[in-house]
Structure 1
């Protein structure tokens, strides 16, 4: 069924990490973030409602506005030099 397929994608394929979580894992891994460029899709900004944000925040407590309006983010990391 369509619902079953959608739930499989949601649980197994969808990248559900917030930018705050990403930054946390970058720090604990020891890497240095040297570049961060979110690809902001402005159309998302204009259709986003408080209800959508609140519902999403229930699933992802560390969610921020940038997470919802940026379908992709480009990051540059530098590995630690010992």
Structure 2
């Protein structure tokens, strides 16, 4: 990512999220994994309904899990830019 001058990558594919986090939850709504060159671990953004499962089914620290508003995907942009 550094060679290509990319600072962050947003992953939304269930298969890729499962591979990168260990999460096997079949999410019923929008979710995303943000990989940044500035952080050691990715940030996983999930719906409130999926949050408890994400805590137990990923290797991520609790601080790297964020609850997304239930109103859809546009809030992801706001969360990524304000974090």
TM interval, short-chain normalised: under 0.3
Question: Between Structure 1 and Structure 2, which shows a larger proportion of helix residues?
Answer: 1
The answer to which structure, 1 or 2, has the higher relative contact order (CA under 8 A, 6+ apart) is: 1
TM-score of the superposed pair, with normalisation by structure 1: 0.26
TM-score of the superposed pair, with normalisation by structure 2: 0.26
